[in-house]
Amino acid sequence: MDEVQLLTRKINRLEKARVKAEQILEQKALQLWESKQELEKKVKERTQELEIAKDKAVKAQMAQKNFLANMSHEIRTPLNAIIGMAHLMSDYELNNQQKEYLNTLIHSANILQDLINDILDLSKIDSGKISVVNESFDLIDFLNIIKSIFLPQAKKKGLDFLLKIDSDIQNFVLADKKLLNHVLINLIGNALKFTERGSISLIVELHNRQEDKQYITFKCKDSGIGISKDQQEKIFNKFIQADKSTSRKYGGTGLGLSISKKIIELLGGTLEVASEISQGSTFYFTIPLTLSQEKSIIKTSPKKKKDKITIKQILIAEDNLLNQMYLKNLLNKWKIEYKIAQNGQEAIDLMASSEFDLVLMDIQMPTMDGYQATTQIRNTINNTIPIIALTANSFAEDREKAKQVGFSDFLSKPYNPNQLQELLLKYSR
Amino acid sequence: MKGVVFVGFFELVEKEFGYEMVDKLIDSCNLDSDGIYTSVGTYDHSEMVQLVTKLSEFSGIGVPDLLNTYAKYFGKTHLRKYESFYQEATDTFSFLESIDGHIHVEVKKLYPEAELPKFSTNKLSDNKLELLYSSKRKMGDFAEGLILDTADYYNEKIEIQKKNIEEDGSQVLFTITKI
């Protein structure tokens, strides 16, 4: 066979192989295209499924939030009546047995109120609704105010209350005063509760300074019953107290420390405990506080409070008969005249025909609610009269909305007589 | 058997013996494919057996030697195209250990119809690895060549002891020692 023939055979074979390869490749390409189509379809289906699942989750979250708001409202309304009636009843001549029953009633209602507030706080923290709002303030002043709140209570139990502040700490800081306050009040409140003799100390030390921040350690130390090592690991969990007898003997919801721990985490620290049985406990945390300039602080020197209510005529807009009764009794006791509107529309009508010094306005009412009524009063009738929202809606959004439509103040139900009295004093001229 | 094995085989035969030998092999064997192979196709394994046997006959070189030599050529010219598999492993042993669990899994994705040999490994020590080759193709000699080529890639020197577990060569145990 000569070379030309051999070459021809080779070329022939190569040509055939090429054609074959092209066929195979085209088939492969088709298969690839088909599986790509299939994949695209699957991705589309999965995406749709995910969107539906996401939608469901969002709706479930909304439902939960609404449920919480509604429950909060539904529980607060009757609780307001219970607390109110109990306070009114304490004004009567009662025998010792009756007084004891009444005290138990008020005590239990207060516990219930604390529990509702704690649950709401916790759910707000859990859903990330609490954010850190920094303001400038004088830390030393702030700590002294806390001392002045607890000193009388400590003395009443025969305990010392000591406040020790590191002299290296700079007074003026930028921090979330409300959250810090919440935690310190919780910790000192616990210390008071669980200490029968000895002292409670709030020790505030400078941990270190870094650029414009001072890291400050807060220690709340007591000489109380102490917490065993086992229990120390559990007490920061929700609804857990050191042991079952604790809740029977000392009361409380077991949510306070869980809330405080989460707040301290928000503030950039960790809440920890050191304790020995019958030696006392120390709760402590270190958080960064940004240094602030003294002059940027708006000194809110409290206005001289009036010692007498000068308000003479009040308009009450409230549809709940029990809450009406509570208010009527209080105002009668304080010798303040009032008119009652059953809803927002009636309130507006009354405003047009009579003179009032102040309005107490419920939010949820039939016919016309408190938001609409207040908007209308502000727009057309009276732009300056103090209008106070009395409501069982206590979410921050509710307060914000109340402020926007023109309410002057906000009193959340249940409230006790003192709280209302304070507000009336505030708006007395 | 994947077409690339046939294509590579003819390449080497042509290089070593000229196209005349390729032509002679095709003519003297009874091939369903008529000796027309493409690397993207799949062909009956018996065609390779016929071709190698005939080549041994024409050249006077034993079948095991032919397969061994071809395997080294095949590794260097065709397997090296899949560089990433080599790079994922760090040495001969880790490469051999990754064949069943990784490389052949990927091959199956591209060629679902491929029938692949099994390579079970058992590491005896840092320097010693047992590798059990199982395939009804009985190409243990080809596998041995590929193992040697792998060691070449990682610049390692190895020694291979070979033992037929099945007499027909469908299961071969390689004991590989790094030296």
What is the CATH number for B133? Answer: 3.90.1520.10
**Residue B154 domain-assigned?**
yes
Query: In this structure, what are the phi and psi dihedrals at residue A337, rounded to the nearest 5 degrees?
Result: -80, 155
- pLDDT score, position B130: 95
Give a yes or no: residue B53 inside a domain.
yes
Per-residue model confidence (pLDDT) at position A17: 92
Q: pLDDT confidence of A413, banded at 50, 70, 90?
A: confident
Mean of per-residue pLDDT scores for chain A: 85
In this predicted structure, what is the pLDDT of residue A253? 60
Distance CA A261, CA A272 (A): 8
In a shared domain, residues B100 and B151: yes
| Sequence-distant (≥ 6) Cβ neighbours of residue A185 within 8 angstroms | A146, A149
Give yes or no: residues B89 and B141 share one domain: yes
CB pairs under 8 A between A and B: 32
B69 lies in some domain: no
B20 to chain A: which residues are within 8 Å by CB? Answer: 1, 6
Chain A residues inside the 8 Å CB shell of B39:
21
CA distance linking residue B154 with residue B150, whole number of Å: 7
Is residue B54 domain-shared with residue B84, that is, in the same domain? no
The tokens describing B136, both together, are 């009804």
- Could you tell me if residue B144 is inside a domain? yes
The answer, yes or no, to whether residue A347 has pLDDT greater than 80, is yes
Site of tokens 């309304």: A77
pLDDT tens digits, chain B, 179 residues: what are they?
889 999 999 999 999 999 999 999 999 999 999 999 999 899 999 999 999 999 999 999 999 999 999 999 999 999 988 888 999 999 999 999 999 999 999 888 888 888 899 999 999 999 999 999 999 989 999 999 999 999 999 999 999 999 999 999 999 999 999 98
Q: Does the pLDDT at position A294 exceed 80?
A: no
Contacts of A1 in chain B (CB under 8 A): 20, 23
How large is the angle between the packed helices B3-17 and B19-28, nearest 10 degrees?
Answer: 130
User: Does B163 share its domain with B119?
Assistant: yes
Rounded to 5 degrees, what angle do the CA atoms A368, A373, A374 make? 150
Contact B38/A18, CB-based, under 8 Å?
yes
Q: Is residue B68 part of a domain?
A: no
Residue with tokens 């397969």: B67
Complex-level ipTM: 0.80
Residue A301 is predicted with a pLDDT of 47
Length of chain A: 429
CB contact under 8 A, A17 and B22: no
Same domain, residue pair B91 and B157: yes
Provide the 3-class DSSP secondary structure of residue B166.
Answer: coil
Would you call B36 and A16 a contact, using CB atoms and an 8 Å cutoff? yes
Cβ atoms of A127 and A116 within 8 Å: the answer is no
Dihedral through CA A27, CA A29, CA A34, CA A40, nearest 10? 170
- Nearest-CB residue to B36 (from A1, A20, A28): A20
Q: Smallest Cα–Cα separation from B139: which of B107, B174, B111?
A: B174
For residue A7, which residues of chain B lie inside 8 Å, CB to CB?
19
Report the C-alpha gap between A260 and A38 in whole angstroms: 53
Same domain, B34 and B101: no
B114 lies in the same domain as B153: yes
- Looking at chain A, the whole-number percentage of residues with pLDDT higher than 90 is 36
Quick: pLDDT tens for A9-37. 999 999 999 999 999 999 988 988 999 99
Examine the domain organization and report whether B135 and B107 are in the same domain.
Answer: yes
In a domain, B70, yes or no: no
Q: Which residue of A has its CA nearest to B4?
A: A21
Give, in order, the Cα–Cα distances in Å from A25 to each of A20, A412, B41, B54, B148: 9, 76, 9, 31, 33
Q: Which residues of chain A neighbour B40 with C-beta distances below 8 Å?
A: 21, 24-25, 28
Helix (H) or strand (E) holding A413: none
In 3D, which of A26, A32, A25, A31 has the Cα closest to residue B40?
A25
Residues B83 and B161 in one domain: yes
Look at residue A173 and tell me whether its pLDDT is greater than 60: yes
In a domain, B116, yes or no: yes
Is the per-residue pLDDT at A162 higher than 70? yes
- CB proximity B39 to A under 8 Å: yes
**In A, what residues contact B, Cβ < 8 A?**
1, 6-7, 9-10, 13, 16-18, 20-21, 24-25, 28
A133 vs B124, higher pLDDT: B124
CA gap A86, A99 in Å, rounded: 10
Claim to verify: residue B33 and residue B85 sit in the same structural domain: no
Q: What is the pLDDT of residue A306?
A: 61
Q: Say whether both B46 and B87 belong to one domain.
A: no
The sheet carrying A313-317 orders its strands as: A337-341, A313-317, A358-362, A387-391, A409-412
Q: Look at residues A377, A332, A320, A333 and name the one whose alpha carbon lies nearest to residue A352.
A: A377
How many domains is chain B partitioned into structurally? 2
Q: Do B40 and A18 touch (CB under 8 A)?
A: no
Q: B171 with B107, same domain?
A: yes
Q: Which domain holds residue B158?
A: 79-178
Q: Is residue B38 part of a domain?
A: yes
